[in-house]
Chains A and B, each alone.
Chain A
C-alpha cells in the first residue's frame, strides 16, 4: 500500500495533468456539448496545434508561452474555415454526416502530417523544462503548474464569453433552437463557424501549454480524444466549469488508479466513472446549466 508521502504528490500531479485534459476538453465541450458536433478531428487538430508550437519554437525560437499570442488565433481561423468550407458544406446539417466528415478529416490530417513531418517524435527543451515548484513536499513541474493556471483562466474566459457577450447568447440560442435562432435573424452558419473556431482556438491554447511538458508526433491526438469526450460527458455537455472539474477529477482518478491498481489497470478508473455517470447522472455533474 503506497504511503502518504506518495499519495499527496500523486494527487497534486493528477490535478495538474487533469488541467491539461480539461484544456483539451474545453474546446470539445463547446463544439460537442453546445453544438452537438461530434468532432472526431479534435485529436488531429490538437496535433496540428502542437506542430505549430513546435515549429515556431524550433525555427523562430518563439517560446511556447509567447506562441499563445499566435497559435490560438491561427487555430481559430483554421477552425472557422474548416466549419464554413468543409464540415458545414459536406454535412448538410445531418449529425451522422458530420461524424463521418470529421472522422475523414482526422484521417486526412493525420496522414498528411505523417507524410510531411514523418512519424518522428519531437519535443522541445526550454530553460524551464526541468524547473519544479515544491508544494507540500511534492515536486510539480513548472510547465504543468502554468498549464493548471492556464486551464482555469481559459475556462473563466469561455464562461464569460458565453454568459456576457452577444456571440455567447447567439451560440446558446443556436444550441437550444436552431430554427428559432434563424428566425430571429441570427446568422447560423457564421455562429456555427465561430463556435467551432473558438473550440479549435482552445486547442491552440492547450497546445501551447502542453508542449513544454509533452511531445508531438502525428498520432499524439489519440491519447487525448477519448479522455476529452469522457470529460465533456462527466462535466455536463457544454458546461465549461463542468469540463474543468471533470478534467481535474479524471486526472486525479487516473493518478490514484495508477498508484493502487498499477499503470495499465489504473486507466479503467476513468471509464468506470464514465459508465457510472451515464447511469446515475446522464446530464453530467453540471449538465443542468445547459
Chain B
C-alpha cells in the first residue's frame, strides 16, 4: 500500500513540474506579447444573490448585466480608453448583506474599477457602503430603498427610481385612473407579506389612500411562504372591497391571484405596487386567466422605444424572461460604462464625478432626462402596467402607454 501511495506522489510531482515549467515557458515567451497590444480591461464587479431565497432575481440581474457588458464590448468597448473591454468579475452575495459587503472588499483589493450590485435594498446598502471605503464607483441596479442614496456617499448612484417616488406615483396614478372612470372605487383591502417591503407598502398606502377618497377596509398580513390563500380570499369575499392591493413576492402573489380566481372574487380592480408577479411575463404566460386585468406600478421599459424592444428580443432569444431585474441591471452597467467613456480614465474620483454629472440618454426607459441629485437619477420613474389579453401593457403615463386602461375590470 505504502509503495503504491509513493508512486502516486512521485507521478503527481512530476506532472506538476512538467506542466508548471511548460506554463511558465508559455508565459514568458507567448501570451504577454499578445496581451501587451491590448489596452487593460476595465473590471466591473457584479455582485448579485445568485443563490439563496432571492436567487431567481439575482440571476436575472446577473444575466442583464452580462448582456450589457457583451453589447458594449461588441460595440468596441470603452473608446476613450483605446477600446478597452469591460471584464465582468462575478460574485454571489447569497442574499446576505454581509457576504455582499465581503465580496466588495475582496474585489476592491483586487483592483475592480466599479461595481454593479446588489438587487435587494438591504444588500445594496451594505455593498455601496463597503465600496465607499475605497471610493469605488457603485451603481445600485434595483434596490429601491430611499436610504441608499440619502447617506451622502459620493460613490453610490442609481439610475432607476427609488421607493418614495414609486409609492407617490402609484397613489397618484390610482387616483387618476379611478377618477377617469367616475370614481367608482371607494374601498380597498391590502394583502401584504410580513417583511419590510410588504409592511412598508401597506403602511404607506393605508395612510395615503384615504386622502384620495379610498377607504382601506382591512389590511391582512401573511407569512413567507404562505401555502394556502383560501382564508385570506374568503375574508376578501366577505368584505367585498372595490380594490384589492397585493404587496407580496412572486410565489405568494401567484397563489393569491389563482385563489382569487378560483373563489370567484369580484372586484373592480387588482392594483399592486412593485407587485411580485403582476409585471412578470412568466406569471402572465402560465396563468393568463388569473393575471388578466391586474394592474401594477413597477419598473418597466419604454414600449415605444425600438432600442428597448430590440433588447427585450435579444434577452428572450437567450431564453431569458424579460423581467425588470434584467433591464435595470443592464442599464446600471450602461451608466457605469458611459461614465468610464466620458471620464477617459478609470480613476475613481473622475469616474464618480462623471457619474454625478451623467446625462445619459435613457429614452429606452419611460424616464425623463437623466439628472443625478445625490446619486439618484431624478428623471427615473415607474409606470403603470396592466395585463391585457395575455400581454403586459403600459397604461400610464400616457406618453408611454401602449394600451387603454380597463377599469373597472370586467
Contact = CB atoms under 8 A, between A and B. Distances in A.
Interface of A: 2-3, 5-6, 9-10, 13, 17, 111, 114, 118-121, 123-125, 129-130, 132, 139, 141, 214-215, 217, 219, 222-224, 254-255, 258-259, 262-264, 266-267
B262 interface: yes
Nearest to B59: A118
Interface string B25-57: 000000000000000000000000001111110
B55 A114 contact: yes
Nearest to A111: B51
Interface stretch (B157-165, B172-180, B231-239, B302-310): B231-239
26 contacts: A2-B238, A5-B238, A6-B237, A9-B234, A13-B228, A119-B53, A119-B54, A119-B59, A129-B258, A129-B287, A130-B258, A130-B261, A130-B262, A139-B262, A139-B264, A141-B262, A214-B227, A215-B251, A215-B255, A224-B227, A255-B230, A259-B234, A262-B220, A262-B221, A263-B232, A266-B231
B357 interface: no
Contacts of A223: 225, 227
B398 interface: no
Contact of B228 (A17, A125, A129): A17
B71 interface: no
A123 B287 CA distance: 9
B223 interface: yes
Nearest to A258: B231
B211 interface: no
Contact of B56 (A6, A121, A262): A121
B289 interface: yes
B207 interface: no
Interface in B212-247: 220-223, 225-228, 230-232, 234-235, 237-238
Contacts of A217: 56, 251
B254 interface: yes
Contacts of B237: 6
Contacts of B238: 2-3, 5-6
B286 A10 contact: no
A121 B228 contact: no
B225 A119 contact: no
Given A118-B55, A121-B56, A264 B223 contact: yes
Nearest to B229: A263
A267 B223 contact: yes
Contacts of B282: 120
A263 B231 contact: yes
A258 B230 CA distance: 10
B391 interface: no
A223 to B, nearest CB: 5
The 4 A-B residue pairs whose C-beta atoms are closest, nearest first, are A119-B55, A263-B222, A13-B230, A119-B56
B264 A263 contact: no
Contacts of A263: 220-223, 226, 231-232
Contacts of A6: 234-235, 237-238
Contacts of A258: 231-232
A139 B263 contact: yes
B230 A123 contact: no
Contact of B262 (A119, A120, A132): A132
A130 B56 CA distance: 27
Contacts of A262: 220-221
Given A141-B262, A264-B222, A255 B231 contact: yes
Contacts of A123: 254, 286-287
A9 B235 contact: no
Nearest to A124: B286
B198 to A, nearest CB: 11
Contacts of A139: 262-264
Interface in B324-365: none
Contacts of A2: 235, 238
Nearest to B52: A119
A214 B230 CA distance: 13
A9 B230 contact: yes
Contacts of A254: 228
Contacts of B15: none
A262 B52 CA distance: 28
Given A5-B238, A114-B51, 8 more contacts: A119-B52, A120-B282, A125-B287, A139-B264, A215-B251, A258-B231, A262-B220, A264-B221
A127 to B, nearest CB: 11
Nearest to A259: B231
Contacts of B258: 129-130
Given A6-B235, A118-B56, A17 B261 contact: no
